Structure 1
Amino acid sequence: MKILIDKYGRKIDYLRISVTDRCNLRCIYCIPQFGVLQTREEDMLSIKEIVSFVKVASSHGIKKIKITGGEPLLRKDIVSLVSCIKEIDSITDISMTTNGVLLKKYASDLKKAGLKKLNISLDSLCSDKYKEITKIGKLKDVLTGIETAMELEFPQVKVNTVIIRDINFDEILDFVRFSTETGITVKFIEYMPTKNSLDGYAKKFVSADEMRFLCSEAYSLLPAVVDGNGPAKYYVIPGTNGTIGFISPLSCKFCSDCNRIRLTSDGRLLSCLYAQECVDIKDSLRKGPDIDEVTKLLYRAIVSKPASHSLTVEDKQMDFCSMMRIGG
């Protein structure tokens, strides 16, 4: 099997696939309240087209797949997609990031189809605050989804929590307790800037170091290794089943170890979350696909992968629509 190596010597073996830019929540830091122009149905990649690309990518070293959105469970064919990817022998890991609202409905079928890992986005454990953040979400739906996943004994369930000062900063230790009580790993993520970030973004930013310091004042933290595809630094809490992680895309960039590329729902390859350029592969996939042409486009995306993103707390380069379509 060939191996994808970018010009900085990084081995690329991880593909994140955004299967839709639609979502059933309206989180304040993700979707602008005035609405967005969504991708037309006919412009979205079909299951067949996605699987065709995964087959090409897997023959060149891609082994791990993360399905994202928007909200991936809004795609009615999502279970079939997981099942088709599972049939590709060289794919060793299939995971999904979801807001969990529809998880109770789909969890059993997803597990049977071959989904191994779940990352569930949850930014508050308070019903009122969760509603404030998501605008239309109900906390009980997500908690029921998490409970269902645990009952089904998914190999791995993690919670992703974006921390924003003056919004959910005061819940950090509540999430740590949630981890100790449930055994679910909680990952704290730095709030990323966009063109339409909340007013006063810099004042709302909380670094991973500050989060970790707060946690260490209340709990003993021991560094740990946790299976996963991402850059989180993990810690276990002795005497409990709790594990927490911290992801620091701004305060301590992990670009030198980045092993991923991204495919959007409308067929664009991005080598970096904040890439200014993309490689459009939709037409090539719809031609049959033309495997040689798709392969060339894949390598073009790898070659374009930057050494590092240049984003800082003061920057606001990405717009909401881009973040929704790329899937974070």
Structure 2
Amino acid sequence: MLTDNHGRTINYLRLAVTDRCNLRCFYCMPEDGLNWLSRKELMSYEEMLRGCGLLVKMGIEKIRITGGEPFVRKDIMQLLTSLSQLDGLKELSLTTNGVLTAPFVPELKRIGVRSVNLSLDTLDANRFFTITRRDEFAQVMSALEALLKHNIEVKINAVVMDGKNTQDIIPLVEMTKNMPVSVRFIEEMPFNGDGHIYTGLQWDYVRILDEIKSRYPQLQKMQDSAYSTAYNYQIPGHQGNIGVIAAYSRTFCGTCNRIRITPQGELKTCLYDDGVLNIRDMMRNGSGDEELRLALLDAFGRRTADGWEAEHSRVVHPGIHESMATIGG
């Protein structure tokens, strides 16, 4: 078992395969996009597979592929197939915006992907365009349909934004009546990459939950799974369920079991730190697996206690955060 200096288990890796995205969600990046990484700056699939293989041997049991948008990267199924064959890996999943996903769903099912997180902040096509700056709502809904058709577990991720989509909270909750989906409402975070300092949270997890209870007072608390980042609920008679994630309030840090690797190979032991080790550079400088293993163990042994400490410890641009696309959602 892999643990950090606070005794927390580490068994979950979120691997970002690209910083590029085919949407321009305002809470994630500026309208003109980002200064995209060059191909040379990205980790190669071979480097990703090597790093993941080592981490699985060390104790990682679950890998989630993120971006950017994973399906923007060429031949992504090649990497997913190789990862699915890693001895010791118990779960392979991914997060996608759904725009390009539908044609890949049968292959995802074939290689054993059982769960997909689908980013969907609204069920209104016009608001979707306002939020994402792209007219792709129909493609996302097609992806949702394909995933459900192939019996792949779907978690819908909706970022709650004051003045943008709070009127969508109840319609999204109503999806759970006839669909076996988990709709998770996420506090907005300061990761939009435009260089401004975050001014505060208007809709925290308590306010989101109160909004849901105002319409569904019969809402029932479910048993949260180990390491869950969401407070989970169910409405009696509904097929699906609801989660509320305190991503900015950071109430779950005490049981956090996840680490991140960015598209350029930067290890983040907390979403809010600015990187603690670059495994891409170590590989390209000739480090062997044992040297990499010891460096990873050292990084895990210096992990911050929570997201607040990590944020306050940032060296690069304290108080100003990069885009979520460059981190891995």
TM-score higher than 0.5 here? yes
Q: Deviations over 1:15-62 (max 9, x none)?
A: 100000000000011011243211110121121111111111111111
Whether the aligned pair in 2 keeps the contact of 1:22 and 1:69 (CA below 8 Å) is yes
Give the letter for the 2:328 counterpart. Answer: G
Q: Which residue of 2 is the match for residue 233 of structure 1? A: 231
- Residues 183-202 of structure 1: matches in 2 within 5 Å? 183-194=180-191, 196=194, 201-202=199-200
| Deviation for aligned residue 1:114 | 2.3
Aligned partners of 2:197 and 2:320 also within 8 Å: no
**Structure 1 equivalent of residue 18 of structure 2:** 20
* CA deviation after TM superposition for structure 1 residue 10, in Å: 0.5
Tell me the distance in 2 between the aligned counterparts of 1:14 and 1:145: 25
Does the 8 Å CA contact 1:51/1:84 hold for their aligned counterparts?
yes
Which residue of 2 is the match for residue 326 of structure 1? Answer: 327
Shift of 1:288: 6.4
Which aligned pairs between 1:34-73 and structure 2 lie closer than 5 A? 34-73=32-71
1:216 aligns with 2:202: no
Corresponding residue for 2:290? Answer: 292
Instruction: State the AA in 1 paired with 2:145.
Output: E
Which structure 2 segments of 5+ residues have no match? none
Kept in 2, the 8 Å contact 1:69–1:325? The answer is yes
Kept in 2: contact 1:25–1:137 (CA 8 A): no
2:37, 2:31 → 1: CA distance?
18
Q: Pairwise mapping of residues 1-328 of structure 1 onto structure 2 (< 5 A)?
A: 3-154=1-152, 156-194=153-191, 196=194, 201-202=199-200, 205-219=202-216, 220-225=218-223, 230-286=228-284, 290-310=288-308, 317-321=319-323, 323-328=324-329
The total of aligned residue pairs comes to 321
8 Å contact 2:122–2:165 — kept in the other structure? yes
The alignment's C-alpha RMSD in Å is 2.2
Task: Specify the SS of the correspondent of 1:282.
Answer: helix
Deviation at 1:269, TM superposition (A): 0.7
Determine if contact 1:83/1:114 at 8 Å carries over to the other structure.
no
Aligned-partner SS, 2:157: strand
Give the whole-Å Cα distance in 2 for the aligned partners of 1:104 and 1:299. 38
Q: Deviations over 1:75-95 (max 9, x none)?
A: 122111111111112110111
What is the alpha-carbon distance in structure 1 between the residues aligned to residue 291 and residue 221 of structure 2? 45
Q: Which residue type is aligned with residue 45 of structure 1?
A: M
Structure 1 CA distance, aligned partners of 2:72 and 2:106? 16
Moved more, 189-198 or 130-139: 189-198
**What letter is aligned with 2:175?**
F
TM-score by length of 1: 0.91
The alpha carbon displacement at 1:227 in A equals 6.0
Task: Provide, for residues 62-112 of structure 1, a one-character-per-residue CA deviation record: whole Å limited to 9, x for no partner.
Answer: 101010000001112211111111111211011100001111121111221
Query: What is the SS of the residue equivalent to 2:162?
Result: coil
C-alpha displacement of 1:289 = 6.1
Provide, for residues 166-207 of structure 1, a one-character-per-residue CA deviation record: whole Å limited to 9, x for no partner: 1001110000011212221100000012474889843x6201
Does the CA-based 8 Å contact 1:49-1:286 persist in structure 2?
no
* Alpha-carbon distance in 1 for matches of 2:274, 2:289: 26
Q: Name the SS for the 1:276 alignment partner.
A: coil
Q: In 2 relative to 1, CA 316–106 (structure 1 residues): closer, same or farther, beyond 3 Å?
A: farther
Structure 1 stretches lacking a partner, 5+ long: none
Q: Secondary structure at the match of 1:41?
A: coil
